[in-house]
Amino acid sequence: MPETLDANEAWFGRMRIATTLGETVDQAVQAVIYPANSRGVMGTGAISAIRSSAGLDVEREAMSYAPIEPGTAIVTSSGRLAERGIEAIVHAVVTEQLGQRVERSTMRRAISSALGLADEHRFRAVAMPLMGISADDSVEARSQMIEAQVDEAVAHTRRSTTRIEQLVIAARFEDDLPIVADMLARTRERRWTGQE
């Protein structure tokens, strides 16, 4: 594997975690992870992009699993996203209802569950959006949620022999890219110096 890294990526074991600006559905991956609620209803923001791109059949499939415990995840088909090479959607259940504030602890459990399911399905390339943040959040609040998400993704590589070779974290706002890159660099440095 290449050793040369740019500022927006880092290797953790065999998994490369990278960040990019854009929509999760536009990434060249096998599966996408999205924030979900206990009812399986696809809401606004990043999740609305997947509903419009994948089609309503995916939402109906997700709703058939309801109620879904927050902090867990389910896998559905990818609907029309199959045309882009995306095989599945992993719904990380971060809230009970639409519009609820995402708690960091619930998000971490949901991401862990989602990455575990991606491994079970042998997906090697996965993408997910930044979760639990909005344009109205302070820089500190955004940084805390981003740090928790990056930390949970890296923790997955420590807990298991993951099959995931590439995890792309897609940011919808350009201001979030340096925050993610900084978290990746700091987490990588902690691992190398044994400060975890």
Reported as a pLDDT band with limits 50, 70 and 90, residue 196 is very low
Q: To the nearest whole number, what is the mean pLDDT of the chain? A: 89
Please count the other Cβ atoms lying within 10 Å of the Cβ belonging to residue 106: 21
Percentage of the chain beyond pLDDT 70 is 90
Give the model's confidence band at 5: pLDDT under 50 very low, under 70 low, under 90 confident, else very high: very low
Contact 132, 35 (CB under 8 A): yes
Select the CATH number that applies to the domain covering 9-193 from these four: 3.10.20.30, 3.40.50.300, 3.40.220.10, 2.60.120.10: 3.40.220.10
Per the CB < 8 A criterion, the answer to whether 110 and 128 are in contact is no
- How many C-beta atoms surround the C-beta of residue 61 within 10 A? 18
The pLDDT of residue 47: 62
For 96-155, the pLDDT digits (tens) are 998 889 999 999 999 999 999 999 999 999 999 999 988 788 989 999 999 999 999 999
pTM: 0.91
Pairwise CA distance, residues 72 & 79, whole Å: 22
At a CB cut-off of 8 Å and minimum separation 6, what does 153 contact?
A: 17, 111, 115, 167, 169
Q: Would you state the pLDDT for residue 193?
A: 52
Cβ–Cβ under 8 Å, residues 97 and 39: yes
